[in-house]
Amino acid sequence: MSERRKDHKGRILKTGESQRKDLIYQYRYTDVRGKRQTIYSSDLQELREKEKEIQRQLDDGIDYAAGKVTVIQLLERYISLKQGVRYNTKVGYNFVLNLAKKEDFGYRQIKDIKVSDAQQWIMKLHNDGKGYSTITSVRGVVKPAFQMAYCEDIIRRNPFDFKLTDIVPNDSKKRIALTEEQQTLWMDFIRQDSTCSKYYDEFVVLLGTGMRVSEFCGLTKSDLDFINRKIRVDKQLVRERGGKYYVEKTKTECGCRYIPMTEEVYQSLSNILDRRKRVKIETVVDGYSGFLLLDKDGKPKVALHIEHEMLWARNKYQKLYPDKPLPNITPHVFRHTFCTNMANAGMDIKTLQYVMGHSGVGVTLNVYTHASYDRAAEQMAKILEFKKSG
């Protein structure tokens, strides 16, 4: 039996380890491509820590190839490849990953997951009280992760490739648009209430432009062209949970657009500018400054500010007028309402798509416009009248 190699201190070296004449330690191994690689260190313990990491990576590669990784490990692998995504997308990824870590399903090896297993897990989430939109978000991450494994021949089929509504009911609340009467009730209350009136102009702009609330918060003074009466929308302002602000592109490439100012919007934007708090130092976020909306501390407002304004105002309204109930009112409800108002007024669909900043006409048609009996009756009457006159 050959004598084991030792270093200059008499310590036995493991397979692959050696010490050069200059006392530098080295470790040789074969990577996943079959090529010989070498790492170096002046300290044996440090070298062995590097060896452990290399071995872990090699084992992960072998386990993944054999489908022995767990659902959690698959998700971590998939998410690690998603670089440069939006902050909200990162939050969504982490939500799904943390959810999987709380579920027994997350610790199963992907090679053992069958379609029925995936369906049973989805049903469990539903029975545990998870809403349809939450389950949709979960599958929106898990399904492409398994698809990655399928495309790389790790598994024979994607177990999440099934129609979700065949397993759980779509019980999510449908997006609503405020009726003309509800719009009048709400905006009259906001304008006349002594405390809520300070939000009136913000609500007028949202209801009169259909902007996403993060786009509204992203507006700077230079985005307002009062001479030509148009608003430039080309960014969104976001604030992370830790308090960090940053500017990101609009939700879609079609999101960059100009929105006309109606007389009412023009006046409200002027009012917001006139009342805007004077600050000694303007907040600069990714090179942008002069944000239109500021909070009580002189910092730029974000979506959460306006969402809270609407929630607080609606709670007050309900207490004062319990006999005149209103649906849940949010910035996104304003966006739906604007779109429906424009469609009902006769704006052609391509123009409406542009103003809304939608990626396709289908989104404008199928998601944001809301037909009503009164509107249908009005349109039919006009058509019949036109035929008679012809």
Q: What is the mean pLDDT of the chain?
A: 88
Q: Where are the alpha helices (DSSP H) in the chain?
A: 44-65, 71-80, 87-101, 115-127, 132-151, 180-192, 200-209, 213-217, 263-275, 303-320, 331-344, 349-356, 361-363, 373-389
Q: What is the pLDDT of residue 59?
A: 67
**Torsion sign over Cα 221, 226, 232, 236:** positive
87 in Cβ contact with 246 (< 8 Å) = yes
Q: What is the pLDDT of residue 371?
A: 53
What are the residue numbers of the active site?
A: 212, 251, 332, 335, 358, 368
Whole-number Cα distances in Å, 81 to 75, 144, 145, 148, 285: 10, 12, 10, 11, 27
pLDDT digits (tens, 9 = 90+) for 129-150: 999 989 999 999 999 999 999 9
Per-residue confidence band for 1, with pLDDT thresholds at 50, 70 and 90: very low
pLDDT digits (tens, 9 = 90+) for 203-212: 999 999 999 9
Per-residue confidence band for 3, with pLDDT thresholds at 50, 70 and 90: low
Helix axis angle, 200-209 relative to 180-192, nearest 10°?
Answer: 160
Evaluate if pTM is beyond 0.85: no
Per-residue confidence band for 253, with pLDDT thresholds at 50, 70 and 90: confident
pLDDT digits (tens, 9 = 90+) for 215-252: 999 999 999 999 999 999 999 999 988 889 989 888 76
Whole-number Cα distances in Å, 77 to 85, 88, 100, 146: 15, 19, 14, 11
Q: Answer yes or no: is pLDDT of 2 > 60.
A: no
Average pLDDT over residues 314-338: 93
Give me 225's structure tokens.
């062209």
Using a 10 angstrom Cβ sphere, with 0-12 exposed, 13-18 middle and 19 or more buried, the burial of residue 23 is exposed
Q: Does domain 180-378 have CATH number 3.40.50.720?
A: no
Q: What is the pLDDT of residue 65?
A: 75
Q: What is the pLDDT of residue 340?
A: 87
Q: What is the pLDDT of residue 374?
A: 61
Q: Which residue has the tokens 């084992």?
A: 59
CATH of domain 71-166: 1.10.150.130
Using a 10 angstrom Cβ sphere, with 0-12 exposed, 13-18 middle and 19 or more buried, the burial of residue 335 is buried
More confident residue, 295 or 53: 295
- Residues 95-129: b if buried by 16+ CB within 10 A, e if exposed: ebbebbeebebbeeebeebeeeebbebbeebbeee
- Phi, psi of 293, deg, nearest 5: -100, 125
231 in Cβ contact with 209 (< 8 Å) = yes
Domain boundaries, given as residue ranges, for the chain = 24-65, 71-166, 180-378
Q: What is the pLDDT of residue 243?
A: 87
pLDDT digits (tens, 9 = 90+) for 367-380: 555 555 565 566 56
Rounded to whole angstroms, the Cα distance separating 40 from 199 reads 64
Whole-number Cα distances in Å, 109 to 71, 74, 115, 152: 6, 9, 14, 16
Rounded to whole angstroms, the Cα distance separating 33 from 193 reads 71
More confident residue, 62 or 301: 301
Whole-number Cα distances in Å, 274 to 88, 187, 203, 263, 299: 33, 21, 16, 17, 17
pLDDT digits (tens, 9 = 90+) for 155-195: 999 999 999 999 999 877 666 889 999 999 999 999 999 99
pLDDT digits (tens, 9 = 90+) for 29-75: 887 567 788 989 999 999 999 888 878 777 666 677 778 889 999 99
